[in-house]
Structure 1
């Protein structure tokens, strides 16, 4: 078997060394220090990804590639997880929503994975790049218009810009009517925030969206998934949409926020393009930091460790990208050689659109607010204390207040702008709420307000 790794550091199983906790404020404040300590144990090391949840974390770039590119030896189906099957994972563990099995391409292997992934990649391939750039710019303009005219001339970009922008883009790409888009955004945002019942809100909204597209197909991702030759069931379509939302919006928010802060930082060289800030973010601050659970199909020797069959192995994309053995000659590598989008058969199928959205979002911010600057040095910004992602807590900025004009949409009316669907959890489309002229129309949620702004209302 291929063994491209060197064995260094403390012997495996040394009783004087407990697992490193990869969670909590200490880790969140300085993850690179944690990765340095773990690298001393070899290419992989045991960590607690959450209280009472042990996984093997891969910190080596070469070892990460070895695992990511060996789908026969390392599979993704977490129903193999020994500790979970044996009742050794706390039922309320924050690791379960991230690592628990779901019937989507991310957790599938072999023919099942190939079928689901093909449907996703083919559907994504139908997105027109020019339209995606325009949609991102329009979303950016709308969000900037909401805070840029404030007389104070200050804003916090994560909450006001980086977090909502991908949600607006994805809701539009999915072909959501305004009120249904509001519920999709509320559901996925609630899941990220740990809001009780958010799963049901998102599931109900997407089920209604799929039912709507059965009646009124459109030029959107939802319809493309539904009519694909893979013949996905409605439940499969729903789970692929959830994967696109969860795997696309939060990492994009992190990339937009970090790239903006980097570009505006005191140390950023003048004259470098925005794309360089996005590339540096993907290398040094991988938005998905530690994830991609793999399960060996048999015991595997990696370095000085034995990875047991059925025990979870997580890839530290953040540690692999900053592996000292790699950084010595990183300038000789392609700018796309980072692992922020993964590698192998499970690599992110939307890496090019994701890069485009992030770069366009930062560019739009600089164009609309040309004198924008940071209020806090980059080195003093706080990071979210989670093992899964690398995202700034806040990006405080200042600028000269100015108004951004309302957009005039060029999007033709069609199936994706169908009448609003009922806002109850029940899916029947026949019970859609209709507002009479005598009843005031509610303001609606973020997507409704965005679409109204797009239409010049």
Structure 2
């Protein structure tokens, strides 16, 4: 039986009285208002993730946890998506890059998922947290040095810091030489920014194919090489698709975590003059501002009734991590008391395999920034900050700050131990295939030169 909402209809600015569109400016401005409205349907509600892309959005914490922990009934293989198979999804839909099937762990089930997932988790387990922490600090120092001496002491921490830091850290983790790293940074940045996204996607794909070929020939102590050496014996296409998910799925949420966590500490009065720590802000972000707001698309293998609504077989069921984490049925309490029971990293067999490194990177990046710029303040009030109008993520559009400009530090060439890491390769302007590197982004090779004192 379909349960209809009560109350005064859809939230302000929402034009749909049937399925609620989550791609509108209104949703971007007030997602919590939309979630409150959607909860009136029950544990889930009918939405559109993009024009003509219908889905059921799960807003209840218990229901979300049930689906995430029951892979026999709710599968992840998007090849089951009935509407897509019947041609009812526009071929140019912006939802397809997020929802269409890829041969990787995120979109697989059963034995295929177990094989790919094990390769990923085993490879990520080789990351030394102490070495990772040191590298985050090095990247943070480099980025802070790029803007901290500006006359007037102003910066946008989204563009100048939070967006770049994960890309540079991941380039190191995955063993990118300067040239390939530049193109990976260019590709992921272009996709996120929506500027010439088609070219950016092509650049990213070519760069990852070259990285896989390079590591097959000359493996190192990096995640890419460990993936290639794994007994799962991943093929080239499987490798590229694992890397796409790990790189793009890791960098965008970290950008949100770093920028929103910093904004909370600087703009929320409860963090002023108290004993609350960066860890508390990180936990609050993961509970209240889940970086991946709505995702983890599942497909019921049969019609399933959930809280009075029918989840139809082979139709997308999207988990709202943001709505589930703010479900009023959850016990009241501080974020530190609630601990890590949030769903920001998912749950069940598809829980994010990189949640511990992600948590470390986010907290270390915020701490380093606050320790280096001790008088940093928001240039606007926290409530005046704006958010990107995306159904998938909760990300600030900008984070304007003020601070006392710093004198540029004197750089000394680091010791071989400090500069060690998977950073080989040339910073030249041509790729291995002889094509020109995109001129827009040379952040990775510039960081490598800074790191080595070149």
Regarding TM over 0.5, the answer is yes
Choose the corresponding residue for 2:229, options 219, 227, 230. 227
Is the Cα contact below 8 Å between 2:287 and 2:335 reproduced in 1?
Answer: no
Structure 2 equivalent of residue 420 of structure 1: 426
Q: 2-side partners of 1:108 and 1:248: how far apart?
A: 19
Is the Cα contact below 8 Å between 1:218 and 1:415 reproduced in 2?
Answer: no
Query: Measured at CA, do residues 95 and 240 of structure 1 come closer, stay the same or move farther in structure 2, by a change above 3 Å?
Result: same
Please list every run of 5 or more consecutive structure 2 residues that lacks an aligned counterpart in the other structure.
8-15
Paired residue secondary structure (1:91): coil
Query: Measured at CA, do residues 404 and 127 of structure 1 come closer, stay the same or move farther in structure 2, by a change above 3 Å?
Result: farther
Query: Are positions 1:61 and 2:58 aligned together?
Result: no
Deviations 1:21-75 (A, max 9, x none): 1112100000000000000110000001111111000000000000000000000
Is the Cα contact below 8 Å between 1:291 and 1:314 reproduced in 2?
Answer: yes
Q: 2-side partners of 1:304 and 1:330: how far apart?
A: 32
Q: 2-side partners of 1:204 and 1:424: how far apart?
A: 13
Structure 2 equivalent of residue 261 of structure 1: 263
Query: Measured at CA, do residues 25 and 17 of structure 1 come closer, stay the same or move farther in structure 2, by a change above 3 Å?
Result: closer
Paired residue secondary structure (2:198): coil
Structure 2 equivalent of residue 3 of structure 1: none
Q: 1-side partners of 2:250 and 2:440: how far apart?
A: 27
Q: 2-side partners of 1:258 and 1:444: how far apart?
A: 25
Q: 2-side partners of 1:8 and 1:24: how far apart?
A: 22
Equivalence map 1:358-369=2 (5 Å): 358-369=362-373
Paired residue secondary structure (2:270): coil
Structure 1 equivalent of residue 11 of structure 2: none
Query: Measured at CA, do residues 376 and 220 of structure 1 come closer, stay the same or move farther in structure 2, by a change above 3 Å?
Result: same
Q: Note the C-alpha offset of 1:197.
A: 1.6
Paired residue secondary structure (1:340): coil
Paired residue secondary structure (1:387): coil
Q: 2-side partners of 1:337 and 1:45: how far apart?
A: 23
Structure 1 equivalent of residue 165 of structure 2: 165
Deviations 1:173-215 (A, max 9, x none): 1111111100011111112223222221011101111111122
Q: Note the C-alpha offset of 1:414.
A: 7.5
Alignment RMSD (CA, Å): 2.3
Structure 2 equivalent of residue 387 of structure 1: 391
Choose the corresponding residue for 2:404, options 374, 377, 400. 400
Choose the corresponding residue for 2:296, options 292, 295, 299. 292
Structure 2 equivalent of residue 436 of structure 1: none
Structure 2 equivalent of residue 102 of structure 1: 102
Choose the corresponding residue for 1:451, options 445, 448, 453. 448
Query: Measured at CA, do residues 239 and 423 of structure 1 come closer, stay the same or move farther in structure 2, by a change above 3 Å?
Result: farther
Q: 1-side partners of 2:91 and 2:351: how far apart?
A: 30
Q: 2-side partners of 1:73 and 1:409: how far apart?
A: 54
Q: 1-side partners of 2:61 and 2:77: how far apart?
A: 23
Choose the corresponding residue for 1:344, options 340, 343, 348. 348
Structure 2 equivalent of residue 181 of structure 1: 181
Query: Measured at CA, do residues 404 and 301 of structure 1 come closer, stay the same or move farther in structure 2, by a change above 3 Å?
Result: farther
Q: 2-side partners of 1:286 and 1:375: how far apart?
A: 24
Query: Measured at CA, do residues 178 and 324 of structure 1 come closer, stay the same or move farther in structure 2, by a change above 3 Å?
Result: same
Equivalence map 1:318-333=2 (5 Å): 318-328=322-332
Please list every run of 5 or more consecutive structure 1 residues that lacks an aligned counterpart in the other structure.
1-6, 434-441
Is the Cα contact below 8 Å between 2:173 and 2:422 reproduced in 1?
Answer: no
Is the Cα contact below 8 Å between 1:179 and 1:444 reproduced in 2?
Answer: no
Q: Note the C-alpha offset of 1:333.
A: 5.8
Query: Measured at CA, do residues 407 and 266 of structure 1 come closer, stay the same or move farther in structure 2, by a change above 3 Å?
Result: farther
Q: Note the C-alpha offset of 1:308.
A: 0.7
Give the TM-score of the pair, scaled to structure 2: 0.92
Query: Are positions 1:370 and 2:374 aligned together?
Result: yes
Choose the corresponding residue for 2:306, options 302, 305, 312. 302
Structure 2 equivalent of residue 21 of structure 1: 21
Q: Note the C-alpha offset of 1:9.
A: 4.4
Is the Cα contact below 8 Å between 1:35 and 1:319 reproduced in 2?
Answer: yes
Is the Cα contact below 8 Å between 2:167 and 2:185 reproduced in 1?
Answer: yes
Deviations 1:205-247 (A, max 9, x none): 0111111112211100110000011111122111111111111
Paired residue secondary structure (2:297): strand
Equivalence map 1:116-155=2 (5 Å): 116-155=116-155
Query: Measured at CA, do residues 447 and 407 of structure 1 come closer, stay the same or move farther in structure 2, by a change above 3 Å?
Result: farther
Q: Note the C-alpha offset of 1:418.
A: 2.9
